[in-house]
Amino acid sequence: MVALLSTTLALLSAASSIAPALGKGVSRGQIKNLVTFGDSYTDTVVVSNGGTQWPIYAAGYAHVNLFPFARSGATCSNNITFRPFPSVFESQLPTYFNATSGKNHLNPEETIYTLWIGTNDVGSNALLTGSDNASLVDVTECMVNWVKTLHASGARNFLFQNMIPLQNVPLYAPVSYPDRYWTAQRNTTEWSVFITELVLSGNLLTKLMLQALAPTLPDSHIGIFDSHSLFADMFAHPALYLNGTAPLNTTSAVKACIFELNESTSDTGDCTIAQGSDKDSFLWFDELHPSEQSDRIVAREVAQVIEGHANQWTTWLS
């Protein structure tokens, strides 16, 4: 499987070298509303970073209204990778359409839509460990269909946030340990290699699909926010991003909890928890999620996009 994904990735890389003309994106002062979809990385109700989630920061930085629909545990579609959580297609999109119908309709020219999904689709209890007959192609097609579905409803401005380098989160690192997300026996090196392949291949598939889609959607502005490169840079150069009072840390977490093999995760495990301003020295909040300081960086960069400025992590396709 790893060899197959590597071959696929090489072929896709060659295909992507033929770059389409780039778009100009949204204009300064154009956007008044931010609508967010995704999983726990974006959920503002069940907060995954121990503080304030990035969409709240981003809306504040950019001075726009926030309409958050992302929910923890979500995948793109429960018909592809089933999890008992509100998926994008079966829950979040219907909730959005119900909430913004009639007099609550959002002006499409003044609204930007973001999607940050994939962590649960490719991870444990999904593609990484086996998920019925689902494939990476199915998952990535679903992600891109989010743009098509919203465009058909009148939406015009989209920011697609790709998957981060998950092999760097403690859960999928080569030296990972039993934690609240997985306590069963596993080959940690194999997990790390496989998740790397899934993320890289998935990100390139969605990029190519979006490049092909963009010219077919009239009046659309589609941007790719390269979360992968941003988090890779934070991992490699933490001093540029982290500003806490403890030594900078990209491998452990604010709340790191070690469990015994096959231990019930209803208990707290053996936890080490950073306090106060020390928390801002960590790239990760726990074994799977970015820290609040990392999310402030995401929010800062996304706010720059919303405001219509050039952004080093964002490429506009239309």
Q: What is the mean pLDDT of the chain?
A: 94
Closest to 203 measured CA to CA, from 11, 3, 9: 9
Per-residue confidence (pLDDT) for residue 13, from 0 to 100:
52
Residues 91-106: tens digit of each pLDDT? 999 999 999 999 999 9
pLDDT at 8 over 80: no
Per-residue confidence (pLDDT) for residue 125, from 0 to 100:
94
pLDDT at 7 over 70: no
pLDDT at 18 over 90: no
Per-residue confidence (pLDDT) for residue 131, from 0 to 100:
77
pTM: 0.93
Greatest CA separation found in the chain? 54
Contact 316, 24 (CB under 8 A): yes
Per-residue confidence (pLDDT) for residue 32, from 0 to 100:
98
Q: Which residue has the tokens 């991992």?
A: 235
Lowest mean pLDDT among 222-231, 257-266, 274-283, 297-306: 257-266
Lowest mean pLDDT among 1-15, 39-53, 65-79, 156-170: 1-15
Per-residue confidence (pLDDT) for residue 4, from 0 to 100:
45
Per-residue confidence (pLDDT) for residue 37, from 0 to 100:
99
Per-residue confidence (pLDDT) for residue 197, from 0 to 100:
98
Percentage of the chain lying above the pLDDT 70 cut: 93
| Mean of pLDDT values over 220-227 | 98
pLDDT band at 132 (very low <50, low <70, confident <90, very high): confident
> Hey, what domains does the chain have and what are their CATH numbers?
25-231+291-316 (3.40.50.1110)
